[in-house]
Amino acid sequence: MTRLIDDSLRLLVQGITGREARMVTSHMIEYGTSVVSGVTPGKGGEDVDGVPVFDTVKQAIVETAPSASLISVPPAATLDAVGEAISSGIRLIVIATEGIPQHDVLRMLELSDESGTVIIGPNSVGVIRPGDSVKIGAIGGEHPARAFVPGRIGVISRSGGMTAEVGLTLRLAGLGVSTAISVGGDALIGSTPATLLAEFQEDPETDAVVLFGEPGTRFEEDVANHIAESKFTKPLVALIAGGFTEHLPEGTAFGHAAAIIEGDSGRPSNKRKVLETAGARVARTLDDVAGLLKNAG
């Protein structure tokens, strides 16, 4: 996944002076991420854990040359923050903010398509690459090495918490992670699991991928199509949670905003079926994941 992050990454944090962003910035620096600057309008000249704060992204670009941005600002300000980052030339953006109006997200996705910018999120806990000691966002918390150790398994997860659970499961099985990505639990996101498979397909440091899916959306069905069309040829192990939600009243939201079943769309049973038909290995429990990976090798 070196097209997205590697040890040369230089990170900007938009909204760095907020309580959550301050904490995450400290954890990222401790892990080894090069956090070179932050932006909060009106806070220019301050610093957070030694990271200089600027009033605008353009000022941060001139002074510190960041290559990626973590956005942790209020929902109503996120579209402006994304637009400022894209117009300043940032081509990798991770959005931690949740609860963004959908019409704002649609505009963000338009801007990313027009510029070729990669967006992870919204509502993402981030991305981590253990071998390069780089993490963007809250992924893994204060002690990410408890869950994520270097290895050759990619992780794509719609759940932030389950991203770490999958990483821990791999570590306990003697395996490790090349790159782990929390795509976010919203219905509208920048990089879907299917689009990220293309990154892992080209990544020479990834031998297989674990996908954690949930009820709602067609994300996992799109993954199945990619496998069936030979667009992704490495082993993929999928764990689809939430089977019990099929017994809830139609339209019930459970957990993430996108975890809604309507008709046959988004049913975990259907996701498992189409993934298996396409050639993916489908785990029934988290404990099955490591064994399926090892048998795939």
Report the domain count for the chain. Answer: 2
Catalytic residue flag (residue 247): no
**Per-residue pLDDT tens over the stretch 116-157:** 999 999 999 999 999 999 999 999 999 999 999 999 999 999
Catalytic residue among 27, 103, 226, 256: 256
- Distance, in Å, from the CA atom of 65 to the CA atom of 171, rounded to the nearest integer, reads 35
Tokens 């398994």 correspond to what residue?
153
pLDDT at 185 (0 to 100): 85
Instruction: For residue range 38-61, list pLDDT tens digits in order.
Output: 999 999 999 999 999 999 999 999
The backbone torsions φ and ψ at residue 221, rounded to the nearest 5 degrees and listed phi first, read -65, -35
CATH code (residue 182): 3.40.50.261
On whether residue 129 sits in a domain, the answer given is no
Among residues 72, 88, 123, which one ends one of the domains?
A: 123
pLDDT at 3: 72
For position 87, which CATH number holds?
3.40.50.720
On whether residue 241 sits in a domain, the answer given is yes
Q: Does the residue 55 lie in any domain?
A: yes
Q: Quick one: 170 and 217 in the same domain?
A: yes
What DSSP string describes the chain? -TTT--TT--EEEETTTSHHHHHHHHHHHHHT--EEEEE-TT-TT-EETTEEEESSHHHHHHHH--SEEEE---HHHHHHHHHHHHHTT--EEEE------HHHHHHHHHHHHHHT-EEE-SS--EEEEGGGTEEESSTTTT-GGGT--EEEEEEEES-HHHHHHHHHHHHHTT--EEEEEE--SSSS-SS-HHHHHHHHHH-TT-SEEEEEE-SSSSHHHHHHHHHHTTS--S-EEEEE--GGGGGSPTT-B-SSTT-B-BTTBT-HHHHHHHHHHHT-EEESSGGGHHHHHHHH-
Bridge-based pairing state of the strands 177-182 and 126-129: antiparallel
194 and 246 housed in the same domain: yes
* 241, pLDDT greater than 90: no
For the stretch 189-224, pLDDT in tens is: 999 999 999 999 999 999 999 999 988 788 999 999
Q: Domain of 192?
A: 147-297
Mean pLDDT value of segment 107-124:
96
CA–CA distance, 165 with 154 (Å, rounded to integer): 14
Average pLDDT, the chain: 92
